[in-house]
Chain A
Amino acid sequence: MLKPLREFACGVAQALGFTEQQVNEIEICVDEACTNAIEHAYVKTFERDFANNEKDIYIEMTFMGNGLTVRVIDHGCGAEGGTHPRIRSLEEYIERDQFRGLGFYLMHKYMDRVTVHTSPGRGTTIEMTKFRK
């Protein structure tokens, strides 16, 4: 499921003239955002709460002012506090008992701007922008 999404993101970024390294960085960030939605968005919800097609994840890509913005949108459980917890440094990651939570660190590292809109019961939108060199 993730591979076609990565290929789609790469295809768009390549067509827009991003460098090979930038394309690779966009690829992994889209993967991480989608993985986050797949793993977390709908785990706390009950099957009966959703119609057949309401567990979808939407990806929007827009190009404006030299920047490619990717939005990964779900309508799942959302998160408390309006954001997702994330590690701030590699040192913090290494000290963890379990090596998880690298996704948001990676997105912040490789994209020029990352914002997360989330609230309990109202889903999550991860919005990431990268500017063309």
Chain B
Amino acid sequence: MKAFSFTCRETPALSDAADCATFDLRGYIDAHTVIEFEKTVNSVIEAGTHCIILDISGLSYISSAGIGAMMGLTRKLNQLSGELILLNPTPKVYAILDGLGFTKIFKIANSENEAMEKIRSRAPA
């Protein structure tokens, strides 16, 4: 299995909101693979997509490098009146985030509907 891979898709139920995309992440994010992760998501943000859903149900592991990258993306998107949602974390990844207090900082959803609700209810620009 590849260390880290992803696919990016338009978020169908939000097709009225042209600036939303979902990334399906697979593998792990550590200090090595985080570079590809950040580069990819940042390129989508720079192209004008400001609401990002990261489906991390296929993510087996995340280190502080990955958490830091997600924090950076959260800050950047908030400044653009956008949103970053983490969708369906595995129990292992959730436990790591929760143990450090990040479940209170990141917006986490357990279904696509919940993720979209969080995006719809975000603070207006």
| A-to-B contact residues, CB < 8 Å | 1-3, 6, 21, 24-25, 27-28, 31-32, 35, 38-39, 90, 94, 98-100, 102-103, 105-106, 109-110
Contact = CB atoms under 8 A, between A and B. Distances in A.
Mostly, the B contact residues are: helix
B101 to A, nearest CB: 5
A109 B72 CA distance: 22
Contacts of A39: 31
B64 A103 contact: yes
Given A90-B101, A94-B71, 14 more contacts: A2-B30, A6-B30, A6-B61, A24-B96, A27-B61, A28-B63, A35-B64, A39-B31, A90-B100, A99-B71, A99-B72, A99-B75, A102-B100, A109-B99
Given A21-B95, A35-B63, A106-B100, A99 B68 contact: yes
B67 interface: yes
